[in-house]
Structure 1
Amino acid sequence: MSTDKNRATAAALLPLVGGPHNIASIAHCMTRLRLALHDRSLVDDTALRALPGVLGVVEDADTYQIVLGPGTVARVTPEFEALVEEGRAAAPPLPVTAAELAERGAALKEAQKARNSTPFKLFLRRVANVFVPLIPALIGCGIIAGLNGVLVNTGRLPAVAPALAALASGFMSLIAVFVGHNTAKEFGGTPVLGGAVAAIIVFPGVAKVDAFGQHLSPGQGGVLGALAAALLAVHVEKWCRRWVPEAVDVLVTPTLTVLVAGLVTLFGLMFLAGEVSTAIGTSAHWLLARGGAFAGLVLGGLFLPLVMLGLHQALIPIHTTLIEQSGYTVLLPILAMAGAGQVGAALAVYCRLPRNRSLRTTIKSALPAGFLGVGEPLIYGVSLPLGRPFVTACAGGAAGGAFVGLFHQLGVTFGSTAIGPSGWALFPLLDGTAGLGLSLAIYAGGLGVGYLAGFVATYFFGFTRQMLTDLNTDAENTDPATVQPAQGPAMAKI
């Protein structure tokens, strides 16, 4: 029955995005079905947003993203891929002239580029694409590390602890290789060459190499060094492809790629990336130790807009660097407070609009994911279309972030041993210098503050009288996106 439901959802989506021949590529993340489209004008946005199960849509320069929620997207995507293949096999594409394609796509393409295709945003998205496939392994190894820590601290099952330590640490010890592989793949190089160059960073023999007057250390530079090394390898490989004769390309290109990029990595990138990584770790801990409450307020308050724009994934290299250095990232528990503010805001909307059955149903279906830290369903289905509740949700996140940041300022340092989960799902991943119990208590307190502040701010300041009049109706087709947000129309267009 579940498979039939997922296939039905996929079948409903496919014609609304232009049919099988309009799909260039298909992928998904934790909550979104990501589609690259040949012709954006063929998408029926209105019908797509109204489709049951669709929590919202997000568009960037490269993909059209349909928010389906955690769990659901992983089950719908294979069905969608199967339907696309079946549709292409059953009906070949109709011939379209170049003039028709240009006429349909030119205006949309230019407008979309002007809005989203800044070099900085595109680069951040591509860097995020390098790290997103690594998240499942980071989560699994992080939870195992947390379990092992509990066993070690309690003295139970001492024979099992070394095995769990190996399971938890094996991936992290070689993460540079995976980063190099994914970087080369994302930026148009040969993945195995990117991995080969990045592997130099974790090779124990680099301890015998002198650079800048000192011996290198295995792992020096971490994921940032691997990213830079693989990017260099991609450029060297592309240069070789242009100038090396085809007859010797298979021998010369890989050799020069590894040789040139490898030497530059050993005698430059490892040292420089190591300095940058150290600076990131030092700055994060210094920021929270000196101005923890204020820093937490700013980080917790601004994170929802980053999630809304899809730029939060650009923080993954920073989180990963902090985990490499100290075993946990101090930033993630603070950023997770944004999700708490979003949950509190959604609960306030639920209470303030008792007659709006459609919106209340959306909130009830999205709250479980919200408690687990997946904020997109509530953002795109509830707060962002309404406008003001999105701002008050950010206020709730700021309050929770300030609470957690204050304890860092008081000397209680803790963080998450992995990235990906948030909300309640982050509890098994917490670790710190003050012990597990205190870390859990502070994080739980921060969530409570975020819930409460988001609820109170939204309940009292999240609606104008006109919004309450328009939205508090029992009409089942009430759509919050049709109501002008009190903060101005720009909020609804984000």
Structure 2
Amino acid sequence: MDYKQIAQDILLALGGKENVAAAAHCATRLRLVLHDEGKVDQTKLDSMDVVKGTFSTGGQYQVILGSGTVNEVYKEFANLAGLSEMSTKDVKDAGAKKLNPLQRFVKMLSDIFVPIIPAIVAGGLLMGINNLLTAKDLFIAGKSLVEAHPEMADLAALINTFANAAFVFLPILIGFSATQRFGGNPYLGAALGMLMVHPDLLNGWSYGAALAKGEIPVWNIFGFEIQKVGYQGTVLPVLAASFILAKTETFLRRTVPSALDNLVTPLLSIFVTGLLTFTLVGPITRSAGNLLTDGIVWLYDTTGFVGGALFGLLYAPIVITGMHHSFIAVETQLLADMAKTGGSFIFPIAAMSNIAQGAATLAVLTITKDAKVKGVASAAGISALLGITEPALFGVNLKLKYPFIGAITGSAVASAFIALTKVKATALGAAGLPGIISIKPDSIISYIIGMAISFAVAFVMTIFLAKREGKKQSQNGTGKKAA
């Protein structure tokens, strides 16, 4: 493979080196920031065999080349464009400058929550394993595995403790990540999170019952009462507190003399932020978070299959805009407050959407005669079934349009079904075939049926639309085929 020629062809198709502001690469893609994406010769890029697909998101224009190839092409591309070595973070920062305020807000949430997802996923999946051990009638009629085999009881208890840790101490994870994102010291953020879940405080999950009984403990400071209530499993309070902490610390770093900085700045940052958190910010944002969670659950419970169908229809278009990253904060709150919410309904619907995108792509694989489309569709379709949809979405379905319509139709029908049967997840994970372990045990059968519906409807609908597209083009005398 002539990597230099490939790099040159890609650079020309992108509008020349004058149009490239920044470039880096990940495992499979060139990640670029362009001055004007309108100068891109999309037809030329699509005609290149080495290019598996392209898409634009988050201020970046990304060219899918595949693992191994992308490394070599990037070396030549950087030399031809006269760019120095950049990390993907540098490119993300450069691309963020092109985003509008709403996109920047979504990116901010993504930057905060994506780093802590592994901890939440680990805890959630362990919770799923615990559910498999303790759920009645799942494997044995009238009994759970633990009841049938009492020697497994302590194992289940151990797993449950491991599973709950990430959610009990969620403010520490968010405090670290959010304070770092807002420009403060992440370790002060972690300390703030620890303060918010300190064992001397009333457990946050006991707040409702204590409020009803009028037994909320308080600090009485010069006649002013401050509630001693923790923030276990909350999202909004620690986000707001982390923002205040970072800005307070930044202000103090600029104003406190350097000789006193290391002593005074951490002291005042934690004290001022902690005081504001327990007197003002925490109570207000706790109420706002409860209202948000209750509103989302109410909307899901009352709109039923209609709301599920609408969400399933719109999920893939939302992914295209990148707005789906904002769901992470909502899902985290739903999972942290599982006793009230029963879990997350967003994850199962995301899985239905991903399965549908994969099915539509595999349908294209069966009907197309274009060798390049076949090559992309085979790998992209399987990837989507496993929960990674970008190659299928941007490399095949959006380009041909009719598979995308078939996919969102399948997603809508399947999402209506799982909304009707109240399928919810107890964990985050790969939203697709592997997502079974993240689903509540009593909903696993419905989840599997939903995946089957999503796949079948999207697959059949895509083939139907392809034939109609072919007939339409034949009638118009274009001589072109649907794929």
State TM-score, norm by structure 1. 0.74
Name the CA distance, whole Å, in 2 between partners of 1:461 and 1:47: 26
Q: State which drifts further: 460-469 or 372-381.
A: 460-469
Q: Is contact 1:200–1:206 with CA below 8 Å preserved after alignment? A: no
What is the 5 A alignment of 1:37-116?
50=48, 52=50, 54-61=52-59, 63-67=60-64
Q: Which has the larger radius of gyration?
A: 2
CA contact (8 A) 2:233 2:337 kept: no
Q: 1:113 to 1:373 in 2, by over 3 A?
A: closer
SS at match of 2:310: helix
Taking structure 1 as reference, are residues 180 and 162 closer, same or farther at Cα in structure 2, changes over 3 Å only? same
Q: Of 406, 427, 437, which aligns to 1:428? A: 437
> Is 1:123 aligned to 2:105, yes or no?
yes
Q: Which of 137, 161, 166 is residue 166 of structure 1 equivalent to?
A: 161
Q: What is the one-letter code of the residue matched to 2:404?
A: F
In the other structure, the counterpart of 1:189 is 184
Of the candidates 76, 99, 119, which is equivalent to residue 137 of structure 1? 119
Counterpart amino acid of 1:425? P
1:240 equivalent to 2:249? Answer no
Partner of 1:365: 379
Partner of 1:490: none
CA gap of 1:24–1:250, structure 2 versus 1, over 3 A, is farther
Give how far 1:377 is off: 1.2
> Residue 40 of structure 1: CA displacement?
7.8
Q: d(CA) in 2 for partners of 1:174 and 1:13?
A: 48
Q: Deviations over 1:227-263 (max 9, x none)?
A: 1111111111222233223332222222222122111
Q: Which residue of 1 aligns with 2:391?
A: 377
Once the two structures are superposed, what CA deviation does each residue of 1:24-57 show, in whole Å capped at 9, x if it has no partner?
A: 78686xx875847597899997787646474433
Out of 314, 318, 324, the residue aligned to residue 330 of structure 2 is 318
Please list the CA deviations of residues 297-348 of structure 1 after superposition, one character each: whole Å capped at 9, or x if unmatched: 1110111011122221110010000000016212211232112321232233
1:149 counterpart (128, 131, 139): 131
Q: Find the aligned partners of 2:333 and 2:170 in 1 and give their Cα distance.
A: 11
Q: Kindly indicate whether residue 365 of structure 2 is the aligned counterpart of residue 350 of structure 1.
A: yes
* Structure 2 CA distance for aligned equivalents of residues 277 and 235 of structure 1: 22
Which residue of structure 1 lines up, in the alignment, with residue 137 of structure 2? Answer: none
Paired with 2:200 and 2:388, the residues of 1 have a C-alpha distance of 42
Change (3 A) 1:205 1:55: farther
Q: In the alignment, does 2:373 pair up with 1:391? A: no
Amino acid across the alignment from 1:222: T
Change (3 A) 1:187 1:472: same
Could you tell me whether the CA contact under 8 Å between 1:346 and 1:382 is conserved in 2? yes
Q: Cα deviation per residue 1:363-382 (whole Å; 9 max; x = unaligned)?
A: 11112211112211110111
| Structure 1 counterpart of 2:314, from 285, 302, 327 | 302
Q: CA deviation at 1:210?
A: 5.8
Task: Name 1:460's counterpart in structure 2.
Answer: 464
Distance, in Å, in 2 between the alignment partners of 1:190 and 1:36 is 30
SS at 1:204's partner residue?
coil
CA contact (8 A) 2:361 2:380 kept: no
Partner SS, residue 419 of structure 1: coil
| Partners of 1:127 and 1:11 in 2: CA distance | 39
Contact 2:4 2:77 in 1 (8 A): no
Is the alpha carbon distance of 1:286 and 1:358 closer, same or farther for their aligned partners in structure 2, counting shifts above 3 Å? same
SS at match of 2:380: helix
The aligned residue for residue 237 of structure 2 is: 225
Q: Does the CA contact (< 8 Å) of 1:68 and 1:377 recur in 2?
A: no
Q: Distance in 1 between matches of 2:5 and 2:111?
A: 27
What is the identity percentage for the equivalent residue pairs of Structure 1 and Structure 2? 26
Residue by residue over 1:439-473, the C-alpha shift from the partner in whole angstroms, topping out at 9 and shown as x without a partner, is: 11111111122122222332223552455866549
For the Cα contact (< 8 Å) 1:281–1:321, is it kept in 2? yes
Whole-angstrom distance in 1 between the partners of 2:165 and 2:6: 43
Q: How many residues align?
A: 428
Q: Which amino acid aligns with 2:416?
A: A
| Distance in structure 1 (CA, Å) of the matches to 2:132 and 2:44 | 50
- 1:277 Cα deviation from its structure 2 partner: 2.5
Confirm or deny: 8 A CA contact 1:340 1:451 kept in the other structure.
yes
Task: Name the CA distance, whole Å, in 1 between partners of 2:303 and 2:225.
Answer: 36
Query: Which of 320, 337, 348 is residue 352 of structure 2 equivalent to?
Result: 337
TM-score by length of structure 2 reads 0.76
Report what 1:267 is aligned to: 279
Q: How does 1:407-422 map to 2 (within 5 A)?
A: 407-408=421-422, 414-422=423-431
Aligned to 2:207: none
SS state at 2:55 partner: strand
Cα distance in 2 between the residues matched to 1:472 and 1:60: 33
Separation (CA, whole Å) in 1 of partners of 2:323 and 2:127 = 28
Structure 1 residues without counterparts, runs of 5 or longer: 96-108, 409-413, 474-479, 481-494
- How far residue 424 of structure 1 moved from its aligned partner, in angstroms, is 0.8
Cα distance in 2 for residues equivalent to 1:34 and 1:180: 32
Please tell me the residue identity of whatever aligns with 1:120: L
